[in-house]
Amino acid sequence: MSCFRDLGLAEEILRALDELGYSDPTAIQEQAIPELLAGRDVIGQAQTGTGKTAAFGLPMLQYLDPDSQETQALVLTPTRELCIQVTQALRAYAEHLGVGVIAVFGGQAVRTQQSRLREAAHVVVATVGRTLDLISRGSLDLASARYVVLDEADEMLDLGFIEDVERILRICPAGRQTSLFSATIPPPIERLADRYMYDPITIRVTPQQLTVDAIEQAYVEVPARGKVERLIEVLRAEEPEQAIIFCRTKIGTARLDEALRTRGLGVKALHGDLSQGQRDGVMLAFKDHRLRLLVATDVAARGLDIEHVTHVINYDVPHTTEAYIHRIGRTGRVGRTGRAITFVTEKQRAEIPRIEREAKTTIGEWEPPEERLEHAPRPRRRDREPAAEGEGRPSRPPGNGLVKLFVNRGRRSGIDDEDVRWALTEGAVIPDDAIGSIRVLDRFSFVELDAGHAEQALERLEGTKLKGKQIRVEYARG
């Protein structure tokens, strides 16, 4: 791992990073900053929260001329909220550089923004629509914009802004340095890069598996015509503090929003057909905890960092595993355990093992909370997180050198003694003579196991499936 000083950044920028408490660069920063400092066009593919703003912002700021009053850099963002976030970050990075960073976006008086642009606007961070508006008014001159950044390009695509983005790129100087950062690179974004970027280098940062470690995942198989009613049943059983319900399309989002409101649920929709003001209103209500249920397209899956979200529900199965990870990553924040529930029809059932395989995770069949025993361990990384008091410690041996393990499945899940024995001998490779008594009750089971093999059984069996049901195993409490 490099440090920021190794990347070739100026002392003024290093000083600002030190004051901000930045220690080591993230993967995208470590790979993108040297390329951008070298003058290359860069396509950066990385999920939200990986430090993309510093990755494109630090090299750009380093090469600006504070003595010039011209606009030298343009950062295009899909939403007003992201525009403000990027502006604040760039101003912090530029603390000791003497350059001005101006935000322009819809929903604010044009005259105010025109006045700011007449000052030293070395960097303009802008939404697409307001950029074109200010250009048409003669208030934004991009003739000297040597650095252009497209931030969250796939979200611009989702919102229908790509043609407008192309218009802006055609206005910018031909010799500019262009960088494009996006969580995904769908074909329309690839075509845009081919057309408007010069020999770009592509940097991909693999989504961190840690995003799903603190999330309990489940699926619900349901007939296509019964999805709304089943969704309401799940919501009433789960009683989420806050939930995001994801749909694939804008039309589907609007229809589900109407169906849920018709049935008396307090819900609002977030999708690309809403005006900027409407989107801001919905986002603010959700962030302020005044809205419990949000129905959204994937446009809300990125840049949405809200710690209250306890549940993510995939009403429609996402197209890709990457999109699945982005979606469910909206819950399980700030050390809290979240729940992700995915609805599948019979034809879509094969999507679950595909996602499990590609995301290296486990997705069990959904059960109502009353059937999920608190006794079962909550997901945690055994190698990083200490066990809670009384958890993960063996109960007193029954007197015959064995310890007792608890399994969160029983007869109700179609499991009998032989199934448990099979899981131990075949799944955990435990010799048969190391197994003592097995008691299968209605909703859970107990098994006595030689102390020398107990930890092996825990490591191998926890989170696996038995009779199609996800199982959890822990030491039984005395």
Q: Give tens-digit pLDDT for 154-198.
A: 888 878 899 999 999 999 999 999 999 998 888 999 999 999 999
Domain identity same for 155 and 17: yes
> Same domain, yes or no, for 146 and 24?
yes
- Confidence grade of residue 122 (pLDDT, cut at 50, 70, 90): very high
- Using DSSP's 3-state secondary structure scheme, residue 15 falls into helix
**Residue whose tokens read 């003592």:** 436
Q: What is the mean pLDDT of residues 94-112?
A: 90
Both 306 and 438 in one domain: the answer is no
**C-alpha pair distances (Å), 91 with each of 16, 44, 60, 84:** 10, 22, 12, 11
Q: Which of 200, 161, 167, 164 is nearest to 181 (CA)?
A: 200
Domain match, 76 and 172 both: yes
Query: Residue 79: helix, strand or coil by DSSP?
Result: coil
Neighbour tally for 51: CB within 10 Å: 19
Q: What share of the chain is helix, strand, coil (3-state, %, to 5)?
A: 40, 20, 40
Distance CA 341, CA 312 (A): 6
Choose between 19 and 229: higher pLDDT: 229
Residues 187, 222 within the same domain: no
Q: Report residue 437: phi and psi, to 5°.
A: -75, 150
CA atoms of 133 and 130, how far apart (whole Å): 5
How many domains are contained in the chain? Answer: 3
User: Does some domain include residue 40?
Assistant: yes
One-letter identity of residue 78: P
On the question of pLDDT at 137 being above 60, the answer is: yes
Q: Is the pTM of this model over 0.75?
A: no
442: CATH: 3.30.70.330
Q: Looking at 204, 225, 253, which one is the last position of a domain? A: 204
Is 120 contained in some domain?
A: yes
Among all chains, which residue has been given the structure tokens 């069996």? Answer: 461
Report the CATH number at residue 263. Answer: 3.40.50.300
Nearest CA to 369 out of 238, 214, 470 is that of 238
Per-residue pLDDT band for 304 (boundaries 50, 70, 90) equals: low
Res 375: pLDDT = 35
Residue that terminates a domain, selected from 204, 223, 238: 204
**245 and 360 inside one domain:** yes
Phi/psi for 446 (5° steps) reads -125, 145
Percentage of the chain modeled with pLDDT above 70 = 87
In angstroms, the Cα distances linking 26 to 6, 297, 347, 476 are: 13, 28, 40, 41
- Region 416-434: mean pLDDT is 87
Does 191 lie in the same domain as 47? Answer: yes
Alpha-carbon distance of 215 to 339, in angstroms, equals 5
Residues 213 and 200 in one domain: no
Residue 471 lies in a domain: yes
Report angle CA 122, 127, 132 to the nearest 5 degrees. 85
Does some domain include residue 379?
A: no
Q: Are strands 364-365 and 215-221 parallel, antiparallel or unpaired?
A: parallel
**Are 102 and 79 found together in one domain?**
yes
Sign, CA dihedral 295-298-301-302, equals negative
Cα dihedral across residues 33, 35, 39, 44: positive or negative:
negative
Rounded Cα distance between 401 and 374, Å, is 27
144 with 239, same domain: the answer is no
- What is the domain range of residue 361? 209-369
Using an 8 Å Cβ cutoff, are 366 and 433 in contact? Answer: no
DSSP per-residue letters across 128-162: HHHHHHHHHTT----TT--EEEEESHHHHHHTT-H
Residues 225 and 155 in one domain: no
pLDDT category at 129 given cuts 50, 70, 90 is very high
Q: Is residue 392 part of a domain?
A: no
